[in-house]
Homo-oligomer: A and B are copies of this chain.
Amino acid sequence: MEILSEIADNLLHLREKKPLIHHITNYVTVNDCANMTLAVGASPVMADDIGEVEEMVAFAAALVLNMGTLNLRTVDSMLAAGRKARKAGIPVIFDPVGVGATKLRTETAAAILREVRPSVIRGNMSEIKLLAGLKTDIKGVDSAAAEEDGEIIAAGLSRELDCVVAITGKRDIIAYRNRLCYIDNGHPSLAQVTGTGCMATSLIGCYCGVTDDWFCGAAAGILTMGLAGEVAQRSLRAGEGIGTFRVRLFDAVSTMLPEFILKEGKIHGVQIGN
């Protein structure tokens, strides 16, 4: 299908242009996000002080905001960098980690939606449901929500916020205006490594740094991570577990070829509405 070719092309563009991806993110998975950004071919910068984020984001091709380890210092930085990016036409990718788990997270996410108006939101089903105003089970930062009705929720939230909404899970769902797609790549082991969601968000940032089609950028990031999970899992031998799996994720992304995306990508797209 057509979107796969677009993704494969964007991978090539990305490796040629090496877009700078500014992250304001958490201290748990920040190293993984930087290395994943490098693995796919882009260039990471992780500045988060209020005294420099507006200057830094001005150089960037995309801004990733991830609220994995929120604190008051970086919330202000996220808002300032986000507003600046938005004004400059730089895409903002938002990962609302653990929204709903605490008041601080819920309020911060609301402030980012309102003041930054992100270009792409990527979350698990619990997080997206929460943003959509639905009741959901929250337990820490991992998803405990059922995956039914994901497309309706994603499409509804996308329409409400006029941004790309991506839900990752067993089957990933991406919605924007009258477009919707499903991705069936990935492997359950991805949930056994911390930060694979964050890394998917970073990859979305990398792709959105080279295309104006953010729906496609979101699909590209999630597909790349899903394929990496499959490659990593297949490579495991007896006695190897999540340590080796995690290392192989970076191997898989850094050696991924456009042809592989075309051959193994499982995207199923539909037009919705009119």
Contacts and interface: CB of A to CB of B under 8 A. Distances in A.
B194 A31 contact: yes
Contacts of A252: 241, 243
Contact of A102 (B27, B55, B240): B55
A155 interface: no
Nearest to A41: B192
A251 interface: yes
Contact of A193 (B38, B142, B242): B38
Interface residues on A, range: 35 or more
Interface stretch (A45-53, A110-118, A158-166): A45-53
A250 B246 contact: yes
A141 to B, nearest CB: 5
Interface string A55-98: 11001100000001111110000000000000000000000001
Contacts of A49: 69-72, 104
A141 B48 CA distance: 13
Given A35-B242, A49-B72, A142 B254 contact: no
A248 interface: yes
Interface of A: 20, 22, 26-32, 34-35, 38-39, 43-49, 51-52, 55-56, 59-60, 68-73, 98, 101-105, 138-142, 192-195, 231, 235, 239-244, 246-255
